Chains A and B, each alone.
Chain A
């Protein structure tokens, strides 16, 4: 077995499981005023402090949510609604965002009178501050640009991207779901107004995440009710999930970050061994500014779903990118935005490594990838139009 899908979800850390298990057997609503309630509240507040400390912010700026999708929705919709005026309705968003941001922005355009300017990436998937600067004006309600791309692994210059927005007083949200635990993330230092992170990508539980939200950033809540979380996110706090999340964050910003170099070396070994077997493999994304655990590869002449099935049958798990609800592999909107031909985009796989990855797993992949690619090439691009051929493209080599 080789698991190369840590960017989708990564195994829970023992310390997170322990913290969660312990908390599951205690009772107490963190909003209750009695002893059990105070005990629960204390656990939540300690978790909040740990997370704030780990991510360079104040406890009051930590808002617990149900995960990355909710945090993205809360930031984008909440800040847009709070700042919307007849002359300020534009959102600037990168075109390579996760669908939790992309579809939220699109929904605001379709239903809430928003306008959008898409910030396009360069061929390496990187978003450029100069390009962002060009898009900003007084009518912009919000800028949202991810810290690091979940598909191709490109890391953006967040501080430099924040600067032109900050100069105009425009709130800047960043989806840092893939960045936390992989890169140093300091919310205050970044200058961002809001930052999304989630538990299950760093060894915490599913179903819990955080929106770091600057105290002065006006935000309209999505969920109304008991007024928890600064009245921005009502709902009884999931104490076991919150304490487990804090345990995972502590681990992520210490040990995982310390091992980022090792992880990158293992990733490079994976890429090198794949290239030995498949010399024409193309590495997508930015060779320099890159998540340590990400290898995004295009295998010309193959269909991603053929490769995925053949590797799966050999016990090797990876990803073709996103899939629709029914489970159809989609050509990555990120690659398309980077200018990759659709037929090549469909022949791409993401291998993402994490805290349990080993050289043994990389060796397993190295042993089978050659024959698997050969096999997939025989099967060809069956589902596509017969005319489809492979066109030219701009590529990066790691």
Chain B
């Protein structure tokens, strides 16, 4: 196959590309330039904040002996990922930009271009297992529980996954690092990236405040309606958040308070006790399903990228995914995805993914 390997400059995508080469595919490496900086003299030009990552990716491609190019997806990334991220926070929701990037950039803009240019598949360093069983694509959790990324891939459509390649799905991160060193890839010891790539300093609040300005509102006790404080915008908060609420006086009962809900129109942030966070019902929009939902399906639901798991029953009703949790989960934030899995010894199987709309 002709394979386009997306190479971020990290160890995972480098080893994924190496495995594609080792499997005998005709591999070309590309690094996506995603950050746009306003041009000065160089009209229309963009700065590059990814010089080091681009170099690491290029050197990995050199070691693998594959052609390598840097492609500019900054405009699409800005439009489809960064702007949406900001808009979602402004609307009181909590987006997952990595999931959106997979949906819209790696497996849409890049995949479309790759297919157009005659490639058969896009290969990435994601930790998830993809296989075809009886002509049916199955997406499963990675062999490495700690690194599993099936949650941020679960919303890809069948057509997208049909052209995806995840060579690392059966490996652990530790194995990947060892293999990178054995293959002479200099990125073997490169630290994992944790932050949102377009907020390199990790200060999401600061980023959002710079983008959205101050939109002051009130922090309100959900039970009594008492005003507990003021804030500079609902984008500063996420449902389930405990720290940094800026409330001076302790609660009457002395127990910690959490963000329960965000109301962007009025600017109201409702806070209350932990048990009020407990959610047992999720209504989720725009479901992408991998099996036929003829009726309620026993499953395990995951409501955020790491953790947030509970046994559940999922069903499709009027084009929405309803998830009834058998054990309550807290910190279920609208805007995040809910992915539902069928537990399986060979890796939990992704059944569906949808965007959390409302909870109860």
Q: Which residues of A contact B (CB under 8 A)?
A: 99, 102-103, 106, 303, 305-306, 308-310, 312-313, 323-331, 333, 336-337, 342, 345, 375-376, 378-380, 382-386
Contacts and interface: CB of A to CB of B under 8 A. Distances in A.
B197 interface: no
Contacts of B74: 383
Contacts of A345: 44
Nearest to B54: A326
A115 to B, nearest CB: 14
B75 A385 contact: yes
9 contacts: A303-B113, A312-B67, A323-B70, A326-B33, A327-B31, A333-B42, A336-B44, A379-B114, A383-B72
Contacts of B110: 382
A30 to B, nearest CB: 37
Secondary structure call for the B interface: mixed
Contacts of A310: 117-118
Interface string B307-327: 000000000000000000000
Contacts of B200: none
Given A99-B42, A375-B116, A384 B31 contact: no
A326 B118 contact: no
Given A106-B40, A312-B67, 20 more contacts: A102-B42, A106-B41, A309-B28, A309-B67, A313-B28, A313-B67, A326-B48, A326-B51, A328-B46, A328-B48, A336-B44, A382-B110, A382-B116, A383-B71, A383-B72, A383-B73, A383-B76, A384-B75, A385-B75, A385-B79
B44 A380 contact: no
Which 7 residue pairs are nearest across A and B when measured between Cβ atoms? A379-B116, A382-B113, A327-B70, A326-B54, A326-B48, A378-B116, A106-B41
A378 B116 CA distance: 5
A303 B114 CA distance: 13
B171 interface: no
Contacts, number: 105
A331 B71 CA distance: 12
How big is the B interface, by class?
35 or more
Secondary structure call for the A interface: helix
Contact of B41 (A102, A306, A326): A102
A328 B109 contact: no
A328 B28 contact: no
Interface of B: 28, 31, 33, 40-48, 50-51, 54-55, 58, 67, 69-76, 79, 109-110, 112-118
B70 A326 contact: yes
Contact of B58 (A103, A327, A342, A375): A327
Contacts of A328: 33, 46, 48, 70-72
A375 B44 contact: no
Contacts of B72: 305, 328-329, 383
B54 A336 contact: no
A84 to B, nearest CB: 20
A331 B43 CA distance: 9
A102 B41 CA distance: 8
A303 B70 CA distance: 13
Task: Give the most central of A99, A324, A330, A383: most B CB within 10 Å.
Answer: A383
Contact of A383 (B58, B75, B114, B116): B75
Contacts of A325: 48, 51, 54
A312 B68 CA distance: 11
B69 A375 contact: no
Task: Give the most central of A99, A324, A384: most B CB within 10 Å.
Answer: A324
Contacts of B73: 382-383
B25 to A, nearest CB: 14
A301 to B, nearest CB: 11
Nearest to B76: A383
Given A102-B41, A327-B70, A382-B112, A375 B117 contact: yes
